[in-house]
Amino acid sequence: MSKRALITGITGQDGSYLTELLLSKGYEVFGVVRRSSTESYERIEHLRDRIQLIQADLLDQYSLIKALETAQPDEVYNLAAQSFVPTSWSQAVLTGEFTALGVTKVLEAVRAVDPKIRFYQASSSEMYGKVLEVPQREETPFYPRSPYGVAKVYGHFITVNYRESYNLFAVSGILFNHESPRRGLEFVTRKVTDGVAKIKLGLANELRMGNLDAKRDWGFAGDYVEAMWLMLQQDAPDDYVVATGETHTVQELVEVAFERAGLDWQKYVVIDPRFIRPAEVDLLIGDPAKAKAKLGWTPKTSFKELVHMMVDSDLARLEARK
Ligand code: NAP
Ligand code: G4F
C-alpha cells in the first residue's frame, strides 16, 4: 500500500519540490492550503490533478485536526511559515503565531489524530544568527537575530520537547538557505536573478540592494527536500543540519548572476538603505557531516550552477512574456 503524506506550506517553494519527490516515490500527497480570495497555486499547478488539497490554517487548531483526520497521513511535513525575515520585524506578532505557535498546533493535531505519524519541522539556520561557532553544527548554540529566528528556535525546541515528552517520531531539519527558480521574488537570490533578467531585456535599468557583505551557505531546494524525506525514513528521530558547507557573499552572488547575462554589475547595482536590516546575520556556513554520515545525503548542485539555473530561468520566463 502506498504511503500517505500531508504537507503544510505545499504552495511554497519547498512544498512544490517535496510534492514532486514524494509523488515520484509513489506517495499519496495531501496539501494544506489556506483560504484566500485569489488562489496562489502557481508552483503546484502542474501537480494539481495528482494531489489532494485541504483547506486549513496554522492559526486554527480545529482545521488542522480535521486536515489530519481527512488525510490519515503516515508523515506530516510542516513547511508552512511566515518565512521572509524583514516581514518578521513589521509583523512580529503574526510571525510568532504562524512560525512558532503554529508548530505546536500541528504537533497537537498529530497527538490527537495518531501519535504514530512521523513529523518533520522546517527549522532554519537563521536560528544561529550571531553565530557562536563556525561552521554551524547540530550542537552549535542558537543566537537568533530576528523575530523570525526567535520563532524558529521555539519551533525547533517544541519539536524536540514533544519527541522527548510524548515519544513522537518528530524531527527538526536545520536547513541553510536554499533557492531555486521557484524562490519568492523578495528573497535575495531571486531578486538578483529576476533583476538581472529585467536589465538584460531592457525592462529595468538598476537593481536596488541592501548589505552586499552578508555571507550565506546557499544550496538548491530540489536537493534539500530529499534530506527532509530521508530524515523521516530513519529508525529513530533526530535533528540534522542540511547545508553545502560553502559560504559566499551577497556580492559574489551579484557578480555571478550579472556575469551570466554578460553584464557588469557595478553599472546597475545601487545600495538602498531601505534594504538594510535592524539586525543582520553576517555569516552562515553549515557543517552537513551528520547528514552525510547518517542519511547518506550530499548536495548535488554547486553555487554557480544554482545561480546560472536561476538567471536562465528568469530570462526565459520574461522573454516568453515579452
Ligand atoms: P515559502 O515559499 O515562503 O512558503 C511558505 C508556505 O507557508 C506557503 O505555502 C504559505 O502559503 C504557507 N503558509 C504561511 N502561513 C500559513 C498559515 N497561517 N497557514 C497555512 N499555510 C501558511 O517558504 P519555503 O522557502 O518553501 O520554506 C519552507 C519552510 O522552510 C518555511 O517554514 C521556512 O521558514 C523554512 N526554511 C526555509 C529555508 C529556505 O532557505 N527556503 C531555510 C530554512 C528553513 P501561501 O501560499 O498561502 O502564502
Ligand atoms: O534572501 P534573504 O532574504 O534570506 P535570509 O534572511 O537569509 O532568510 C532565508 O534563509 C533562512 C535560512 O537561513 C530561512 F530560514 C528564511 O526563511 C529565508 O528563506 O537574505 C539573505 C541576505 C541577508 O543577509 C540580507 O541582508 O541577503 C541580504 N540582502 C542584501 N540585499 C538582501 C538584499 N536580502 C533581500 N531579501 N533583499 C535585498 O535587497
The pLDDT confidence band at residue 259, using thresholds 50, 70 and 90, is: very high
pLDDT averaged over every residue in the chain: 98
In the predicted structure, residue 202 carries a pLDDT above the cut 90: yes
Nearest protein Cα to ligand 2, atom 31 = 210
Residues identified as active-site:
124, 126, 148
Phi-psi region of 173 (alpha: psi -120 to 50; beta: other; left: phi over 0): beta
Question: 4-178+218-242 in CATH: which number?
Answer: 3.40.50.720
Going by alpha carbons, the residue nearest to atom 2 of ligand 1 is 12
Same fold, 4-178+218-242 and 185-217+247-280+301-321: no
Q: Is the CB of 61 under 6 A from ligand 1?
A: no
Report whether pLDDT(97) > 90: yes
Mean pLDDT confidence for 35-43: 93
CATH topology of domain 185-217+247-280+301-321: UDP-galactose 4-epimerase; domain 1 (3.90.25)
Residue 322: is its pLDDT beyond 90?
Answer: no
Is 252 within 8 Å of 307 (Cβ atoms)? no
- Lining ligand 2 with CB less than 6 A are 83, 85, 124-126, 176-177, 186-188, 191, 209-211, 214, 216, 250, 275, 277, 280-281, 284
117 pLDDT above the threshold of 90: yes
Q: How far apart are CA 8 and CA 107, in angstroms?
A: 12
The DSSP output letter for 49 is G
Whether residue 195 contacts residue 179, with contact meaning beta carbons closer than 8 Å, is answered with: no
pLDDT in tens, 3-37: 999 999 999 999 999 999 999 999 999 999 999 99
User: What mean pLDDT do residues 161-187 have?
Assistant: 98
The model's pLDDT over 276-303, given as tens digits with 9 standing for 90+, comes to: 999 999 999 999 999 999 999 999 999 9
Residue 46 CA to ligand 1 center (angstroms) comes to 19
d(CA 57, CA 277): 29
CA distance 315 to 317: 6
What residue ranges do the domains of the chain occupy? 4-178+218-242, 185-217+247-280+301-321
Distances (CA, A) of 4 to 7, 53, 72, 121, 198: 10, 13, 7, 17, 41
Distance of CA 314 to the CA centre of its chain: 20
The CA-atom distances, in angstroms, between 90 and each of 82, 185, 239 are: 12, 18, 30
pLDDT value for 1: 84
HSE-CB of 96 using CA atoms within 13 angstroms:
6
**For residues 29 and 50, is the Cβ–Cβ distance under 8 A?**
yes
- The mean pLDDT of 192-201, rounded to a whole number, is 98
Average pLDDT over residues 298-319: 98
pLDDT digits (tens, 9 = 90+) for 47-93: 999 999 999 999 999 999 999 999 999 999 999 999 999 999 999 99
pLDDT digits (tens, 9 = 90+) for 226-256: 999 999 999 999 999 999 999 999 999 999 9
**What is the reported pTM?**
0.99
Ligand nearest the Cα of residue 155 is 1
Quote the pLDDT of residue 89. Answer: 98
Q: Is the pLDDT of residue 158 over 90?
A: yes
